[in-house]
Amino acid sequence: MNKPAEATDRFDAVVVGAGFSGLYMLYRLRRLGLSVKVFDSADDVGGTWYWNRYPGARCDIPTTDYTYSFDPELEKEWTWSEKYATQPEILDYLRFVADRYGLRADIEFATSVASAHWDEQERRWSITTDRGTRLRCRYYIMASGCLSMPKSLDIKGTERFAGEVYFTSRWPHEGVDFTGQRVAVIGTGSSGIQAIPLIARQASQLTVFQRTPNFSVPAHNGPAPAGRLTRLAQDRDEYRDAARWSPGGVPVEPTDVLGVTASESVARERFEDAWKAGQLFSILGVFADQGVNPKSNGIVAEMIREKIRSIVHDPRTADALCPTDHYFGTKRPCLDTGYFETYNLPHVRLVDLRRQPITSITEDGIDTADESFGFDAIVYATGFDAMTGAVAAVDVTGRDGLSLTEKWAAGPSTYLGLMTAGFPNFFMITGPGSPSVLSNMAVSIEQHVDWVADCLKDMRTEGFETIEPTPLAESGWDQHVRDCGAITLHPTANSWYMGANVPGKPRVFLPYIGGVAVYRQACDDVVARDYLGFRRTGPGGERCLDGVIRRMQPDVSLVLQLMAKLGLPPMETLSADEARAMMGAAAATRPPSPEVGEVTDGLMPGPAGDLPYRLYRPPSAGPHPVVVYFHGGGWVLGDLDSDDPLCRDLCVRSDTVIVSVNYRHSPEARFPAAADDAFAALRWTASHAAELGGIPGQVAVAGWSAGGNIAAVACQRARDAGGPRVSGQLLISPVTDSDMTRPSYAENGDGYVLTTPLMHWFWDYYADPADRGDPRAAPLRGNLDGLPPACVVTADFDPLRDEGLAYADALEASGAQVRRVRARGHTHTSVTMVGVVISGAPVRAEIAEALRNFFPSAP
């Protein structure tokens, strides 16, 4: 059995924690033949399920899924009794697993790791425990859980209370009998919501102190769902694999129904089905867009509030229980059994701390702003210092004495949530920056443990002793984690996901919300690319392929995947008319565009007949500066409708009148027809600015792609013709040259919508080869002296990126003022996909600001 570690002991690996992750980590490391010591402060295995023994504690992921899958034999030997197993049953399971694989022999209980210091000379970790033991190990692995460090009490007077005090996170093993007692519960998160109905059964009086009402849906616990059991019985491997490659670690059919477009009856039916299912991923997946779109989220939130009001009899209490200060899902939603019904009991009372805050805990009970309460017992269900608390509890020091808490002072920074630069051979299981708490933990834990174990195996095979992420790879991953969070509603909430529950904790979105499958793919890709972003060293030298594993905005990737699934023919294989029809059909499926003050269509004279235009007026009182806008489409495609969402967006954001002009297209009217029309449109608009609701003399040009090309040309021609005066030129991913040899073509010419063959197709339709060097086709080759200020937008994954940058450079060299906007992680088209690609919104905000700054009276 379990022998205490000794000062001289050396292990291959030390693992902190003997819960779900620590047990499996130990199992895997042993199978690699490594010597391992696991420490846990508890006196048995179980981790979170050892400590959280409060009444009603259960998992809220179906136990068919919240279970190890690494050994089919293990699965045959254990049958869960319910859809959501109780804490005692889950603890029994973990004990069973520990015994079945003889894991206890390597676990030292009732012992915490106090410090872990990296010894650069020895290339080992030096570990001390709270029992004074010192030992050394090659690999230090924290499997210490995301919700294991209780939050410190931050309520005045807690030490004064003379009655019994309980914490849901540290519940007495012998249980508590509240019969006949006056009990207070503080906190209405998952723990409080599970415990309250059961405490109410015993207590003579129960008072719940609620700071923030929480969304909760009924668990409908009972037998394991038949559908899942059947699927598992039919093909266990297929089921487990589906879980591993699902968004949340539980196989679900993702929906493509959008809340913003669903009919009322469809919305109601989907919601009621999810309510009946009693599963988190059902209620979180009523609509595909509820996590990102406030309107869609609001539909689900309101239906839940309706349910609460229908359950709770007292309207005032019902109202106080209805969450209104955060979007549904942005704080962890709960599954309950009779939670809201509990408030109908005569001896149960809700105290809304928003109306009457606690002023102090007293000897006898709790004082609020306008009442004193007497209690026999107080239960704190006040939560955890999530995701970083347990890691920071150990004094971890890496290379050159760098302390982990110092490194993470402004928030955690990790590569894949697995490792952090400066701390060689230090691994975290379900660390910040991994899906962890947003997923089925069992699946995420197995994936992490497997990745670490496989990595150590690969290191051994290849003769490496240390591994550590590079700063570049890590900052790239941090950025990707932030990008994923930023397109969702999550950062708007004061949640523990954001560190907002712990006073003074930096406010950053801690988990990775890109999904289990997407995350797993990223981890696999890192390995497939020879551990991209990791530096590995050994006696034979070091190996490091530095780089960033995910540079594209997550929603842009998603759109590209969806487009690929549609299997549309490449545009360049179609005729111009077929391509136009395909674009028109795609435009018909767009979400509603932003509202503007007014939209009117008109005609303006052009060099070869009238040119249709569409005028967008912002909601504010005019007159406004005017922007003449030219749509994209390679001089062949596009019209007033194609760029309508972008024009609306620019109009509202920049508070300018936008005049979108439909110029002549190729092949019907080839070069220089489009450029001639653009210049004519600029002249006409400038001379009619006042009639259009604009400010005379305040006219800019703008264009996207080929539209950017003719906008740039129009500026050169206005200069040459001595007018009109142009206040600025906004060039969004413009074509500025016909040279396709720049690196951005090589990097991005395939697979990001605008491809090299498509650019050939456009140019072939537009201009003869002999004309392609003409400055009216390739403005980069023109005279750039004396041009108006410019804003040049370039996208990372655009073949045209480098010619946009070249134009910005050349303008600057000629003395023009240039603002560069980098659409980080975007393709040629994605920034313009208003309402579809959410990560484009901040870029468009920057563009709109640049547009406003063209005009002297800009606010």
Using CB under 6 A as the criterion, which residues of the chain lie in contact with ligand N01 when the complex forms? 58-60, 147, 154-155, 168, 186-192, 194, 211-212, 332, 353, 381-384, 437, 496, 501
Amino acid at 10: R
385 vs 483, which CB is nearer to ligand N01?
A: 385
Amino acid at 44: D
**Cα separation, 494 vs 133, whole angstroms:** 40
Minimum gap (Å) between residue 103 Cβ and ligand N01: 23
**In the block, which residue shows the tokens 């899942």?**
228
Minimum gap (Å) between residue 616 Cβ and ligand N01: 42
Angle formed by the axes of helices 516-528 and 441-462, to 10°? 0
User: Which residues share a beta bridge with 372?
Assistant: 367
Minimum gap (Å) between residue 554 Cβ and ligand N01: 23
86 vs 656, which CB is nearer to ligand N01?
A: 86
Minimum gap (Å) between residue 388 Cβ and ligand N01: 14
139 vs 496, which CB is nearer to ligand N01?
A: 496
**Cα separation, 654 vs 174, whole angstroms:** 65
The CA–CA distances, whole Å, from 256 to 260, 262, 266, 290 equal 12, 10, 12, 11
512 vs 855, which CB is nearer to ligand N01?
A: 512
User: Which residues share a beta bridge with 198?
Assistant: none
The C-alpha angle 226, 229, 231, rounded to 5 degrees, equals 110
Handedness of CA 360, 364, 370, 371 (dihedral sign): positive
Compute the residue count for the chain.
Answer: 859
38 vs 206, which CB is nearer to ligand N01?
A: 206
For residue 749, give the DSSP letter: S
Minimum gap (Å) between residue 663 Cβ and ligand N01: 56
Minimum gap (Å) between residue 193 Cβ and ligand N01: 7
For residue 3, give the DSSP letter: P
Minimum gap (Å) between residue 377 Cβ and ligand N01: 17
317 vs 537, which CB is nearer to ligand N01?
A: 317
- The answer to whether residues 360 and 157 touch, using CB atoms and an 8 Å cutoff, is yes
Minimum gap (Å) between residue 157 Cβ and ligand N01: 12
Minimum gap (Å) between residue 640 Cβ and ligand N01: 48
SS3 399: helix
- The answer to whether residues 205 and 342 touch, using CB atoms and an 8 Å cutoff, is no
**Cα separation, 223 vs 231, whole angstroms:** 15
Handedness of CA 625, 631, 632, 635 (dihedral sign): negative
56 vs 703, which CB is nearer to ligand N01?
A: 56
- Position closest to ligand N01 via CB: 189
User: Which residues share a beta bridge with 790?
Assistant: 729, 818
**Which among 840, 842, 821 has a CA at the least distance from the CA of 831?**
840
**Cα separation, 288 vs 223, whole angstroms:** 29
216 vs 736, which CB is nearer to ligand N01?
A: 216
Determine if the peptide bond prior to 672 is cis (ω within 30°): yes
Minimum gap (Å) between residue 323 Cβ and ligand N01: 10
Minimum gap (Å) between residue 321 Cβ and ligand N01: 12
91 vs 787, which CB is nearer to ligand N01?
A: 91
E strands, 93-194, where?
A: 107-108, 113-119, 124-129, 134-142, 164-167, 182-186
231: left (phi over 0), alpha (psi -120 to 50) or beta: alpha
Angle formed by the axes of helices 236-244 and 516-528, to 10°? 90
158 vs 756, which CB is nearer to ligand N01?
A: 158
**Cα separation, 9 vs 557, whole angstroms:** 49
Minimum gap (Å) between residue 154 Cβ and ligand N01: 5
Handedness of CA 352, 356, 360, 362 (dihedral sign): negative
Minimum gap (Å) between residue 60 Cβ and ligand N01: 4
